[in-house]
Structure formats: structure tokens, C-alpha cells
């Protein structure tokens, strides 16, 4: 998920300094007087800001979790950039992800940066070329993210905004004779500071996509160099800039597609689609091909384990979840799913151990209480089972699976009235054969 707050703050500081110190230096046309174009309320910058806010409002109505810390799956459903889907017929994600943000704070910081840098770039290049730089940088950034990690889920306008930033620096470099040495050094130092902060912060914080940042910034710099000639009409600049940028986009996309083939990510994508269509045997085969090329990706083992579980190959599922935990020891979901498969194999003591370990990592993970409650129920530890079911429903009151499992326990105890209360809430849950 690219677009961290620290880089946004530094971008804002840079843009404020640029506007404060360079207003009298910007050359809108090399053969005209120095002047600053007045931007209207309906400027391209303001339209982009409104569009980003509108998308967040729409997403919040669909899923209120988008306002805080949306899950990976929620972001994918809302249109985030996810390589295995983006390069499997959903190329629109390259654009939709630029308007999707990981919570309202992420949105505010990015729009603050856009508000600071946008008007200056728009007055410099014109609104058409400003939009060209913005979208070119954003798409290149998204493609660069896929090149680095096709399984990464990313969203945000940071790549596009940093691209606009890069275009301004490129313009200053081309026309450096118009600026003092001190000013050039100042802005060069700001650029170094920004990228140093991004690298360091990205190194220690998960979810920071520095590759999208780098891709967007470099793309913006290239666009700025292409558009630095301002002694021609905007139409003429568009006539030679657009073909060049389109060629670069197609070339970079081609490189990434070839990388996809070489690393068998098309097989991974086929596995994801098969899993979503409940074609589990096909999913197992596709994920197996991918794992033969890359045996270090926990997501691939996790996905294949899910497919194994659905085909009652529970021993194979347990092995894959064990591999996930080797690669990602803090994966609470992997502990839960391995415990659930162990329940299917009748290995309840091991399931209880896995569930207890997971709950130490995340004491509020409702599915884990349900899984352990089921294991306790199967081993006759009724009080512990009811306690865990109650805890699960405290954190997730609408969990139909948990209501179903507690209902079955109540029925075995002859408590038909209590079972009846859970029966309606359990409606719609489809238990595995070994749960019935």
C-alpha cells in the first residue's frame, strides 16, 4: 500500500518551500513575461482532490472499514492494485488504485501534498500537461510496484504526486540558469532528504511501497524533461509528449508481462481465479506450478492449503500451513486455518495448541476462539468450549459458523431452547462434512 504519511509531510514541506521561494522565478513561456497563471476553482488540481474525496466517501458507504485500517481483501474488492489481477484482465486497477486510499489519514496527507504541489505544476505546464504528468507517473508507479512484487496490494495517489514533484525538479534542472545556486542546492537537499526518509521508513514499516514511490518520481522526472521546452504551444508539446509517454508505458508493461511469465505469476493468477470459482482441483494444480518456481512465498502456500482443505486433503493442507508459518511465523490466520484442518483430522489437542498460540499473538481474533471452542467441544471440555464461543461472539456477533458450532454443542447437551436461539443466527452457514 503505497503512500506513507512521512513522505507526504516532506513532500508538503518541499512544495510549500517551492511556492514560497520560486514564485518569481517560474517561466510559463520562455518568450513571454514572468507571470503566475491564476487558477480557477475548477482547476485540474481541485478536480483531482474532489475525485479522491468522492471515491473515499463512496468506499466508506460500501464498507465503513475503509475510513480506518481496511483489510487486504477489502482493498482488492474496492479496486486496489493487485498484480495477479491487474495483469489478468483487470488493467483498470492501475487507474482505480490511484484514487483509493488506505484510510482517511492517508487520504488527507496525500491531498494536502497535492494541494501544495498541484497548482504550481499546473500553472507551469498547463492543466492538460499537468494531468498527463499526474496519470503517467501514477500508472508507472503502479506498474513498478507490480514488477517488484506482483502479490503486493497497493493504493494511493503518492506515486502520481511524487511524479508531479519530480517534474518540477526536472524543470528546474533544465532551466537551472534561471535559479540561484543556493536555491538549486536547497531543493536537491530536499529531494535527498525525502528519499532517505522513504527508504528508512519503508525498511521498518510494513505496507510502505517504496517501489511505487520511486517509479512515480522517476516517471515524473522524465515527463518534466520531455515537457521542459515551454517556448512552443501546449498543443505542440502534447503532440510529441503523448506518443513518447505511451511508448514508455507499453514498453514497461511489456517488461513486467515478461517478468510475470518467467516467474509463473500467470499460474498464480489462474489459481486465484479458480479458487474464487470453487474450482479447487484446478487451483491446486495452478498454485503447485507457481510454487515450483517460487517456494518462498507464504501466500501461495496459504492459497494452495485452502484449496486442499476444500478437497478434503487435510494432511496436505496442514503441511502447507506449516510451511506458511515457517515463512511467516506471526501469521495468526495460518495458525487458525491449520488448527481447523487439524480438527478435521481429529487432532484436537494439536488444534487447541495452535489456537492458544495464535490468541497470544492476537487476543481479539474471533475465529480463533471459535476454532478452539470447537476443539474443546469435541474433547468433552464443555465449559471451556462455551467460554470460547462466547468470546468469539463478543468480538464477532454475526459469526454464523460460531453460532452453528455452539448450536450443535447445545443440541448434544439436550439444551434445545439455547440451541434454538443459535439456529436462526447460524442460517446460511455451510459446514464441512466432518463438522456435521
3-class state of residue 82 by DSSP: strand
Q: Which of 213, 309, 403, 405 is flagged as catalytic?
A: 213
**Which tens digit of pLDDT belongs to each residue from 84-126?**
889 888 999 999 999 998 888 888 888 888 887 788 888 888 8
Active site residue 403: no
C-alpha cell at 314: 487435510
Which positions of the chain have pLDDT values less than 50?
A: 1-39, 202, 205-207
Domains and CATH numbers, the chain: 5-262 (1.20.1540.10), 279-435 (1.25.40.10)
Surface-to-core class of residue 258, CB atoms within 10 Å of its CB (0-12 exposed, 13-18 middle, 19+ buried): exposed
Give, in order, the Cα–Cα distances in Å from 165 to each of 126, 223, 234, 237.
15, 11, 20, 20
Establish whether 158 is a catalytic residue.
yes
Q: Which of 158, 167, 309, 331 is catalytic?
A: 158
- Look at residues 143, 176, 194 and name the one whose alpha carbon lies nearest to residue 12: 194
In this structure, the chain runs to a length of 436
pLDDT of 203 reads: 59
CB-CB neighbours of 398 under 10 Å: 8
Q: Is 247 exposed, middle or buried (0-12, 13-18, 19+ CB in 10 A)?
A: exposed
Please name the residues in contact with 57: beta carbons below 8 A apart, sequence gap of 6 or more: none
Residue holding cell 496459504? 302
Write out pLDDT tens, residues 313-365. Answer: 999 999 999 999 999 999 999 999 999 999 999 999 999 999 999 999 999 99
b (16+ CB within 10 A) / e for 221-242: bbbbebbbebeeebeebeeebe
| Residue 269 grid coordinates | 493468477
* Adjacent-strand bridge partners of 81: 154
Amino acid at each position: 500500500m503505497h503512500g506513507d504519511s512521512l513522505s507526504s509531510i516532506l513532500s508538503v514541506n518541499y512544495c510549500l518551500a517551492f511556492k514560497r521561494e520560486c514564485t518569481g522565478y517560474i517561466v510559463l513561456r520562455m518568450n513571454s513575461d514572468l507571470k503566475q497563471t491564476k487558477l480557477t476553482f475548477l482547476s485540474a488540481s481541485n478536480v483531482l482532490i474532489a475525485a479522491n474525496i468522492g471515491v473515499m466517501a463512496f468506499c466508506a458507504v460500501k464498507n465503513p472499514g475503509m475510513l480506518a485500517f481496511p483489510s487486504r481483501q477489502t482493498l482488492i474488492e474496492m479496486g486496489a492494485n493487485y498484480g495477479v489481477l491487474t495483469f489478468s484482465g483487470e488493467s483498470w486497477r492501475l487507474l482505480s488504485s490511484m484514487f483509493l486510499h488506505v484510510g482517511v489519514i492517508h487520504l488527507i496527507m496525500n491531498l494536502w501534498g497535492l494541494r501544495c504541489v498541484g497548482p504550481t505544476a499546473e500553472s507551469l505546464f498547463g492543466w492538460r500537461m499537468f494531468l498527463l504528468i499526474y496519470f503517467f507517473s501514477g500508472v508507472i508507479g503502479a506498474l513498478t510496484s507490480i514488477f517488484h512484487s506482483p502479490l503486493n496490494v497497493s493504493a494511493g495517489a503518492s506515486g502520481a504526486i511524487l511524479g508531479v514533484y519530480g517534474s518540477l525538479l526536472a524543470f528546474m534542472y533544465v532551466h537551472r540558469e534561471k535559479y540561484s545556486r543556493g536555491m538549486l542546492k536547497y531543493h536537491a537537499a530536499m529531494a535527498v532528504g525525502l528519499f532517505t526518509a522513504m527508504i528508512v521508513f519503508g525498511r521498518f514499516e510494513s505496507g510502505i511501497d517504496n517501489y511505487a514511490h520511486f517509479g512515480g518520481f522517476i516517471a515524473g522526472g522524465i515527463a518534466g524533461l520531455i515537457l521542459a521546452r515551454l517556448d512552443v504551444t501546449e498543443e505542440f508539446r502534447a503532440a510529441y509528449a503523448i506518443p513518447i509517454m505511451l511508448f514508455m508505458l507499453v514498453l514497461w508493461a511489456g517488461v513486467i508481462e515478461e517478468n510475470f511469465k518467467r516467474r509463473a505469476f500467470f499460474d498464480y493468477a489462474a489459481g486465484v481465479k479458480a479458487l474464487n470459482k470453487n474450482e479447487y482441483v484446478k487451483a491446486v494444480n495452478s498454485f503447485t506450478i507457481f510454487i515450483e518456481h517460487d517456494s518462498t512465498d507464504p501466500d501461495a502456500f496459504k492459497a494452495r492449503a485452502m484449496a486442499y482443505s476444500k478437497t478434503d486433503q487435510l494432511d496436505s493442507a496442514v503441511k502447507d500451513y506449516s510451511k506458511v508459518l515457517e515463512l511467516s511465523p506471526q501469521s495468526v490466520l495460518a495458525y487458525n486455518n491449520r488448527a481447523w484442518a487439524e480438527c478435521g483430522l481429529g487432532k484436537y489437542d494439536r488444534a487447541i495448541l495452535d489456537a492458544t498460540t495464535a490468541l497470544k499473538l492476537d487476543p481479539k481474533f474471533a475465529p480463533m476462539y471459535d476454532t478452539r471452542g470447537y476443539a474443546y467441544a469435541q474433547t468433552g471440555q464443555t465449559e471451556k468450549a462455551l467460554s470460547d464461543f462466547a468470546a468469539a461472539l463478543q468480538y464477532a456477533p454475526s459469526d454464523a459458523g460460531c453460532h452453528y458450532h455452539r448450536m450443535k454443542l447445545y443440541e448434544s447437551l439436550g439444551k434445545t431452547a439455547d440451541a434454538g436461539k443459535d439456529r436462526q443466527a447460524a442460517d446460511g452457514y455451510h459446514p464441512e462434512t466432518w463438522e456435521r
